[in-house]
Amino acid sequence: MATATPKVAILGAGIAGATVAVALKTARANAELIVVDRNFESQSPGALLDILYGLKKPDSVTFSTLQAFQKLGVQIIRGEVLRVDGDKRSIYTAVRTFTPDYIIIALGMEPHLSPFDGANTLPVLASLKDAATLAERLLSSGAGDYLIISPATDTCLHLLPIEAALAVHHLLVRAGKRKNARIRIISPEPLPFSRWDPNFSNAISAYLAKHEIEWLGNMQPASVKGNILTTRLGAEIPFQFAFLIPPVQVPRLFQHSTMLDASGWVQANSYLFNSRGDRVYAIGACAGFILPSSPKDQPPLLFPKWPQNAYDQAVILADNLVKEWKRDIKLVRYSGSAESSMRVGPSSFASISGDFLSQQPPAISLKFPGLLPFGSRASPIPDLRKILS
């Protein structure tokens, strides 16, 4: 340990960063905590779909976490993190540069809004405001042919395209417009999550088919112009109403950084979260965590970037830091057991869980409400407000 009272910089005040700060405070760790974020306005990760379903308005799900952090007794730096140098353990922000004793990188992920030509002319589903605009446009549209464009090759179980297609289905049913409407998802994946557990992939495909949602697989969008999407192989797909589910990527400050692993996400040990540099850790959505079963000759399969996992990783990391400071060498290794919920209706969720590190390849269990008993958690998505209260 560097000093009697270690200085710990937590980069990111989302689920992972907030949980680590609360867990260290709850454990009464003798540490000075500094939380850095560009803004302390937050919302629950599931809020995007609440808005798309028209159940909530953006203002009602946005709240300031500033007071909660102040009450917790942590120092706050409100500013952009510009660079992290793991080898020197230095942080460069818009307001100051410093070298703490520990760095915890919890900077999440961000949408890639221009993945192909003309993508920026499409409505997009990436923020609360987008969801509100999209909900309005969907309900007022007279379109019969809806296209949900998902250019991501799934590396982290990105569920949003499926959830968005089901939301379009339910919104159109509610508006009495579903009968003459066609809903299609266009994706480079042959089938949903085709590189994962085949039972999981088949169950999702069957659920989409049951709702008459078509999966246009093996198609990589190349451009969109007017009402025509052209794929890289030259297929032309006409639509009346299309929107983009952006692929997710590592926060911009890390692009071209030596902090990344082969997957293009922040390097992190899957079990103890050490990143590049001594006493530097990465947790939550920004971290890579390549699965042990990942095929060598294809893009790596990554541990899912779900909010519950960010929470679990933060709790374990905080616990291990406290142990280290007490010179207890029995560190806890992250089990890799992960779960999430997938929104399948205005107020219904499917539960998804798997054992991603110890079981290879991971078997993913999927429980749809009504078909099988629903998952055990009352609230399947961790709530930042509750974590900080």
Q: Phi first, then psi: what are they for 69, rounded to 5°?
A: -65, -40
The one among 29, 81, 229, 316 contacting ligand FAD by CB under 6 A:
81
C-beta closer to ligand FAD: residue 173 or 253:
253
Taking CB under 6 A as the criterion, which residues in 122-151 touch ligand FAD? 126
Cα distances (Å, whole numbers) of residue 223 to 112, 119, 153, 202, 231: 15, 7, 17, 29, 7
β-sheet with 364-367: strand ranges across: 337-345, 348-355, 364-367
Taking CB under 6 A as the criterion, which residues in 279-308 touch ligand FAD? 284-285, 305-307
- Does the protein bind ligand FAD through residue 108 (CB under 6 A)? yes
- Does the protein bind ligand FAD through residue 381 (CB under 6 A)? yes
- Helices 307-325 and 15-26, axial angle in degrees (round to 10): 30
Please compute Rg for the chain using Cα positions: 21
The one among 160, 183, 204, 213 contacting ligand FAD by CB under 6 A:
160
Piece of the chain touching ligand FAD by CB under 6 A; list 15-23, 147-155, 230-238, 255-263: 15-23
The one among 310, 315, 317, 388 contacting ligand FAD by CB under 6 A:
310
The one among 5, 26, 30, 39 contacting ligand FAD by CB under 6 A:
39
Q: How many residues does the chain have?
A: 389
C-beta closer to ligand FAD: residue 220 or 257:
257
Q: DSSP 3-state assignment of 322? A: helix
Distance CA 249, CA 114 (A): 12
Size, binding site for ligand FAD by CB under 6 A: 32
- Does the protein bind ligand FAD through residue 109 (CB under 6 A)? yes
Q: Does residue 292 have a cis bond before it (omega within 30 degrees)?
A: no
C-beta closer to ligand FAD: residue 12 or 86:
12
Residue nearest to ligand FAD (CB): 14
C-beta closer to ligand FAD: residue 47 or 186:
47
The one among 9, 35, 49, 302 contacting ligand FAD by CB under 6 A:
49
User: Residue 227 burial (CB < 10 Å; 0-12/13-18/19+)?
Assistant: middle
C-beta closer to ligand FAD: residue 143 or 342:
342
β-sheet with 97-98: strand ranges across: 81-85, 90-93, 97-98
Q: Report the nearest approach of ligand FAD to the CB of residue 144 (Å).
A: 27
Q: Report the nearest approach of ligand FAD to the CB of residue 4 (Å).
A: 29
C-beta closer to ligand FAD: residue 82 or 262:
82
Q: Report the nearest approach of ligand FAD to the CB of residue 132 (Å).
A: 14
Pick from 152, 165, 150: which is nearest to 49 by CA?
165
Distance CA 80, CA 314 (A): 22
CA angle 311, 316, 321 (to 5 degrees): 125
Distance CA 104, CA 48 (A): 27
The one among 100, 115, 251, 277 contacting ligand FAD by CB under 6 A:
251
Q: Report the nearest approach of ligand FAD to the CB of residue 91 (Å).
A: 10
C-beta closer to ligand FAD: residue 128 or 143:
128
Q: Phi first, then psi: what are they for 148, rounded to 5°?
A: -105, 115
- Does the protein bind ligand FAD through residue 375 (CB under 6 A)? no
Distance CA 109, CA 132 (A): 21
Distance CA 174, CA 214 (A): 20
- Does the protein bind ligand FAD through residue 37 (CB under 6 A)? yes
- Does the protein bind ligand FAD through residue 253 (CB under 6 A)? yes
Which positions touch ligand FAD (CB under 6 A)? Answer: 12-17, 37-39, 45-46, 48-49, 80-81, 106-109, 111, 126, 160, 248, 251, 253, 284-285, 305-307, 310, 381
